[in-house]
Amino acid sequence: MGESVRAMAGRANGNAQVDKLISRILAETMRRESHKVDSWRRPSADIRRLVERDYVRSLRRYLPYRELRRLISAFADVLPEFNREPVGMMSTERLARRASDLDLNFKAAPYEGEDGLALRGFYVTRKQGILKRPLIYVNTAHHPLAVSATFCHEVGHHVTAEVIGGDDDPVHFFFDADYATHLEEPSELAADVMVSFAGYPEPIARKIFATPWKWGLVARAKNLTDAALDEVRGHIKKVYGFDLMARIPPHQRLHYLSGMIHYAKLRWALLAEYDV
């Protein structure tokens, strides 16, 4: 009995330490990463950059096919439906269970404040001092679909670190802004690729992105056609019941729209370049 009390105290202690670390990271991040928050305040510039970006080139450069295959199979161990069916929207309880299966610290809590919504979440490696296990934090002030996607992104960091390594950043922040910069950072790109697979498993990707005369333009060239965007919105509504124009506060719509464009273009590029 004495032991279980000690074990409980240890757990409580651990949680208090983790909570303290999270508060510290949140306070420091918003100060240090203020340029990301600035960029979050100007979402239309972000969208313009995304639409113009050549995703295929980033994939070729930063995520070779062999690494991608290893990531896909590691991810399928975590999520059995991965790249076969859409990974569903998950409750925070379910996310917590998944995190504990991966032996991760996990925290889901709203972070609002003036600019809080700029932050989607973060992943902290063991290198960050006190942590025995890596930590995932997700900002639940966001829509549940965004929270699930954030979780996939952060698990993407974790899996990438375990499978490929070579990543020395102790903390990875996910801002709901400037997705274009993810295309130039190999670890961010790998994490985002996992989100794209979660939302568009292969059978669906082949259906939606099968019209090269339309999607070739989307991934490579200068503009996203309205028809292409309608298909993406239709898919997300059908699978997740997520409607950008309903119940999403107007100031958040552009950010979610840039996320939608980003993950769709990335998925198209994966199909076009690697046939996965």
Binding site for Zn ion (CB under 5 A): 172, 174, 188, 191
We find the least distance from the C-beta atom of residue 220 to Zn ion, in angstroms, to be: 25
Do 85 and 201 meet the contact criterion of CB atoms below 8 Å apart?
A: yes
Task: Give the residue with the Cβ less far from Zn ion, 179 or 215.
Answer: 179
Q: Which is nearer to Zn ion, 55 or 174 (CB)?
A: 174
Report the residue number, 50 or 204, with the smaller CB distance to Zn ion: 50
Which residue, 50 or 191, has its beta carbon nearer to Zn ion? 191
Non-local CB neighbours of 93 within 8 Å, separated by 6+ positions: none
Q: Are 267 and 209 in contact (CB under 8 A)?
A: yes
Contact 50, 263 (CB under 8 A): no
DSSP alpha helices (H): ranges in the chain?
2-32, 34-40, 43-52, 55-62, 65-78, 92-101, 144-163, 186-199, 202-208, 212-220, 226-240, 250-274
Structure tokens at 103: 């032996």
* Closer CB to Zn ion, 193 or 270, in the complex: 193
Least distance to Zn ion from the beta carbon of 116, Å?
Answer: 17
Shortest Å, Cβ 192 to Zn ion? 8
Minimum gap (Å) between residue 8 Cβ and Zn ion: 33
Q: Which is nearer to Zn ion, 172 or 265 (CB)?
A: 172
Q: What are phi and psi of 60, to 5 degrees?
A: -55, -40
CB of 50 to Zn ion, least distance (A): 16
In angstroms, give the least distance from the CB of 233 to Zn ion: 24
Among the listed residues 102, 116, 113, 242, the one whose alpha carbon sits nearest the alpha carbon of residue 158: 102
Give dist(CA 260, CA 3) in Å, integer. Answer: 50
Nearer to Zn ion, 188 or 202 (CB): 188
* Cα Rg of the chain, angstroms: 19
**Least distance in angstroms from the C-beta of 175 to Zn ion:** 9
Nearest residue (beta carbon) to Zn ion: 172
CA separation (Å) from 247 to 47, 108, 144, 259?
21, 22, 12, 17
User: How far apart are alpha carbons 11 and 43 in whole angstroms?
Assistant: 41
